[in-house]
């Protein structure tokens, strides 16, 4: 599987669909879980929290339960025939500790389902792409503050899940760092996670011919430079078709970041659009990964060749 390959699209959701809510990374407060479940019920979905979604690891307070339990929640939800979608409650840290505990043969056999998450969930987006050949949604966490409080984040995810043809053009309001248009298959996520993923069993060889969506949170300019440089040195950007830069919350003054992006990415000779409105920001847009699309850096749009979900 390469970045040029469009992936298998799961079926869209319908009223009454059962969706499992998991915590594969960091711990989630119960009140946030309940608030997210209430929103999903308001969409006429049947949300089901998995058995360990409220767990805390006995030694490491940054993990939602043990690696084995977090993996078991995802695998059992994915393989359950009555579950139509799996939504992540939050990111944080922890996916890399559990992703290789999953039985990917069994998960592929269970068939395509909708998968939603962002941040640390980038490692699962990559694993679903490389091991299951599946389109996934880089979208709000079901117990995240942005999802619970922000109408735009809620509505864009809801439209993508139920009426994906209505959001085939994603208009970000972003501006061109490097002008132009590019075509390719979408991929990406959290920059630091993509850099950390290098050399692991579920990492792809690179972003050749892809439309790469990048964002991050809480990383100083030099650390963003370091991650970009690591990917550049590894040849991961070789042949990339275009790049969209999302949010960089708590990463320092944006003018300093823009200089890093221009320095590290400007020489690739491909369109680059900034402030695209996905990731760790208010009203975050839902971006499908694994779908062929056109990126227009000047207009700040991403237009999908076909809806993200069937």
Catalytic residues: 119, 215, 280
- Give the distance, in angstroms, between the CA of residue 304 and the centroid of all CA atoms in the same chain: 16
Which element (helix H / strand E) includes 68?
helix 67-79
Residue 10 tokens read as 């799961």
Residue 24 tokens read as 């594969």
- Give the distance, in angstroms, between the CA of residue 114 and the centroid of all CA atoms in the same chain: 12
Task: Look at the chain and count its residues.
Answer: 310
C-alpha neighbours within 13 Å on the C-beta side of residue 71: 14
Residue 198 tokens read as 């290098």
Residue 94 tokens read as 């922890």
3-state class of 176 per DSSP? strand
CA 129 – CA 117 distance, rounded (Å): 14
3-state class of 20 per DSSP? strand
Residue 291 tokens read as 């779908």
Cβ–Cβ < 8 Å for 286, 138? yes
Q: Strand ranges (DSSP E) for 101-209? A: 114-117, 136-138, 169-171, 175-178, 181-190
Contacts of 176 (CB under 8 A, 6+ apart): 271, 272, 273, 274, 297, 298, 300
DSSP letter assigned to residue 7: P
CA 126 – CA 190 distance, rounded (Å): 11
List, edge to edge, every strand of the sheet that includes 46-49. 46-49, 18-22, 85-88, 114-117, 136-138, 287-289
């Amino acid at each position: 599987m390469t970045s040029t390959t469009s992936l298998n699209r799961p079926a869209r959701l319908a009223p009454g669909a059962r969706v499992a809510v998991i915590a594969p990374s960091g711990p989630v407060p119960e009140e946030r879980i309940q608030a997210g479940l209430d929103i999903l019920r308001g969409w006429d979905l049947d949300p089901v929290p998995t058995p360990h979604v409220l767990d805390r690891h006995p030694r490491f307070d940054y993990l939602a339960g043990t690696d084995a339990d977090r993996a078991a929640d995802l695998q059992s939800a994915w393989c359950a025939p009555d579950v139509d979608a799996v939504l992540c409650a939050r990111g944080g840290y922890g996916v890399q500790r559990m992703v290789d505990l999953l039985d990917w043969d069994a998960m592929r056999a269970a068939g395509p389902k909708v998968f939603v998450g962002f941040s640390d969930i980038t490692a699962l987006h990559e694993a679903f792409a490389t091991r299951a050949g599946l389109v996934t949604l880089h979208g709000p966490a079901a117990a995240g503050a942005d999802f619970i409080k922000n109408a735009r984040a809620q509505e864009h995810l809801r439209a993508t899940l139920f009426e994906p043809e209505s959001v085939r053009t994603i208009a970000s309001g972003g501006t061109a760092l490097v002008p132009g248009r590019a075509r390719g298959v979408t991929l990406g996520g959290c920059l630091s996670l993509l850099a950390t993923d290098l050399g692991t069993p579920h990492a792809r060889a690179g972003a050749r011919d892809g439309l790469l969506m990048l964002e991050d949170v809480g990383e100083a300019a030099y650390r963003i430079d370091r991650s970009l440089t690591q990917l550049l040195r590894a040849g991961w950007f070789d042949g990339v078709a275009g790049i969209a830069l999302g949010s960089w919350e708590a990463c320092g003054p944006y003018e300093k970041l823009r200089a890093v992006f221009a320095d590290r990415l400007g020489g690739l000779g491909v369109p680059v659009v900034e402030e695209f409105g996905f990731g760790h920001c208010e009203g975050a847009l839902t971006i499908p990964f694994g779908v062929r699309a056109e990126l227009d850096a000047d207009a700040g749009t991403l237009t999908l060749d076909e809806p993200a979900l069937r």
